[in-house]
Amino acid sequence: MTAPDPSPRTCHYDCPAVENSHALPFPFAPASIEAHFTDIHQPRHNGIETTTGESMQVALTLDFRNAPERRRPWREFWEDNLWLLCEAEAMGFDSVLVQEHFFTEDGYAPSMPIFLALLAERTQKIRIGAYLYILPLHNPMQIAQETAVLDHLSGGRLDVTVGIGHRVAEYRAFGLDPRHRPSRMEEALEILRLAWSGKPFRFLGKHFEIGQGDAPAVEIQPPPLQTPHPPLWVGATSSAAAARAGRHGLHLHGASVDPSVYDTYRQSLTDAGHDPSRFRVSNPLSITTTHENPEAVWARNSDHYHYRWDFYRKIRQEIGDPDLDYELAPRTDAYRENELIGDPQTVLETVLPLVDRLGLTDLVVFGPASGIDPRREGYESLRLFADEVLPVLKER
């Protein structure tokens, strides 16, 4: 199976070729805006969609990590990752998600809104999503403004996920105390929704003061295209974070295979007066779909997989959070159990019970690890997943 076009800077599906230059082009040329909005999905309303009777939604995410020991020219590296995310639309994925980190040696997804703007221009119908804003690191007013603009530029295709973050170095670099993560998160969530209302507002909290004293009330214009705002998700690896999502009446991007995390979320929704059936729940899995021997694939790419997972182990250890556990088959090699590698039947036999056990409405597929060629091996794996796994998931 071969990718449509292995040229380093072209996208098969409606992604304009980019010539060498010193700066990425601004994603919208004035003459292209009207055409871009033709035949686009209508905006969602109320930020919530009823899940009953809907097919499972499947998203693709990439980590955009350009490791120093195999460093590639930055623009070429980014274009390859954007190309694969563009291809996901033609493959039938429901959404593509961009991650966020700061100040890493490999440039781990360093400018999420810019990548989202490029994807908004280069795709037509697939939803695009922030996965996720580390909300306590940001001024929520800035997030409200830039996501409102992104929602308009994408024609109402934006999803926004926020999370508390796990990396001490990021908090220290921004001059923030990581012990204040929960309280900053709570205030920022409240401000974000007030700002998205499009109405003047004031806020007084422990960390943020808006429109206080002689300062005027603040108003964000334009408000988002979707009403009252884009679907808002909270990322959670623990029951405490899941309870926060439920308490605020938000969708859940989980990252745990512990059913109690999802039980806590649904109970928190109920306690806050919400109907859990109206909310979406996801979990991520790193999946390589292949007809090769899985252990041969692991042996060939084990350095890349180790590189992926050791980052998460280190940052969670530094801040005191437990390791991630996906309960795949244990192996003697570190992190082997975190990678689902197999043919389509093996993938389905692993994913479907997990979907049922956790009550998932959505699955987030982590694409090829950094170092695996996204235009060849990465593309081939996703193409096989899209051809033989995705249709079965969509029937559920």
- Percent of the chain whose predicted confidence (pLDDT) is above 70: 83
Residue 376 has pLDDT above 80, yes or no: yes
CB 99 within 8 Å of CB 382:
no
Over residues 233-286, the pLDDT tens digits come to 999 999 999 999 999 999 999 999 999 999 999 999 999 999 999 999 999 999
pLDDT digits (tens, 9 = 90+) for 338-365: 999 999 999 999 999 999 999 999 999 9
Q: Is the peptide bond before 68 cis (omega within 30 degrees of 0)?
A: no
What is the maximum span of the chain, computed from C-alpha positions, in angstroms? 68
Among 71, 65, 98, 76, CA closest to 24 = 76
Q: What SS3 state is found at 122? A: helix
Q: 220 pLDDT exceeds 70?
A: yes
| DSSP H or E segment with residue 286 | strand 281-289
Give me the domains of the chain, ranges plus CATH numbers. 30-394 (3.20.20.30)
Q: Rounded to two decimals, what is the model's pTM? A: 0.85
Residue type for position 209: E
Instruction: Please answer whether residues 143 and 192 qualify as being in contact, where contact means their C-beta atoms are separated by less than 8 angstroms.
Output: yes
pLDDT over 90, % of the chain:
74
pLDDT at 322: 58
Range scoring the smallest mean pLDDT among 37-51, 111-125, 242-256: 37-51
State pLDDT tens for residues 59-109: 999 999 999 889 999 999 999 999 999 999 999 999 999 999 999 999 998
On the question of pLDDT at 44 being above 50, the answer is no
Confidence of residue 46 (pLDDT cuts 50, 70, 90): very low
Provide the pLDDT for residue 49.
45
Average pLDDT taken over every residue of the chain? 86
- Quick one: pLDDT at residue 22? 28
Q: Which of 101, 52, 86 is nearest to 314 (CA)?
A: 101
Better-scored residue on pLDDT, 352 or 46:
352
Q: Any idea which of 34-38, 66-70, 156-160, 168-172 has the lowest mean pLDDT?
A: 34-38
**Model pLDDT, residue 396:** 81
Picking from 250, 257, 254, 251, the residue whose alpha carbon sits closest to that of residue 235 is 254
Q: What is the mean pLDDT of residues 121-129?
A: 98
User: What residues contact 200, with CB distance under 8 A and at least 6 apart?
Assistant: 211, 216, 217, 218, 219
* pLDDT, mean of residues 203-227: 96
Reported as a pLDDT band with limits 50, 70 and 90, residue 334 is confident
Query: What's the confidence (pLDDT) of residue 1?
Result: 56
pLDDT of residue 321: 61
Paired tokens of 376: 């060849």
d(Cα 385, Cα 363) in Å, to the nearest integer? 13
Whether 2 has a pLDDT exceeding 90, the answer reads: no
